[in-house]
Amino acid sequence: MESVTRRDVLELKAGFAANVAAVSGLGEKMAGLDTKVSGLDARVAGLEAKTTDLYGVSRRMIATLVRLEDKMDDMAERMATKDDIRVMNSRLDDFTADIQAARRDRALQSETFMAGQRRLDDHELRITRLETRKS
């Protein structure tokens, strides 16, 4: 068996002290890690709350988009196409032409009526003169 010298004991003691110091430092590091993990837990909780808020916003946006899509479909159903507008314009043109023709006819009838009225007035005047001569 080998004999253990004082020097060996001192070396062992120094190595042991270094190991104890390293282990003591690990405790502080572990405490620091615990603090960091707690901070991360709080951040994760904050992210979970924000995710929940975003989920709610997303649901509202989807509901709004569905309503808007329904409104757009309704508008598309009620909206006139170019062909519909052409048909309406054609009908309006026909109606306008009929109105203008009716106005011309009315003007002609009015003129004819006025000519007849003047003629009637002239006849009445002549009859009145003839009757006054006979008396």
* Alpha-carbon span 53 to 41, nearest angstrom: 18
Residue for token pair 């080998």 = 2
N- to C-terminal Cα distance for the chain? Answer: 186
Q: Count of alpha carbons within 13 Å of 53, Cβ hemisphere only?
A: 6
Q: pTM for this one?
A: 0.39
51: Cα within 13 Å, side-chain hemisphere: 6
Q: Per residue of the chain (135 residues), what is the pLDDT tens digit?
A: 567 788 888 888 888 887 877 777 777 788 788 888 888 888 988 899 899 999 999 999 999 999 999 999 988 888 888 898 999 999 999 999 999 999 999 988 988 999 999 999 999 988 998 888 876
Q: Where are the domains of the chain?
A: 1-79, 82-135
pLDDT of res. 21: 73
How many Å apart are CA 111 and CA 104, to the nearest integer?
11
CA–CA separation, 115 vs 131, rounded Å?
24
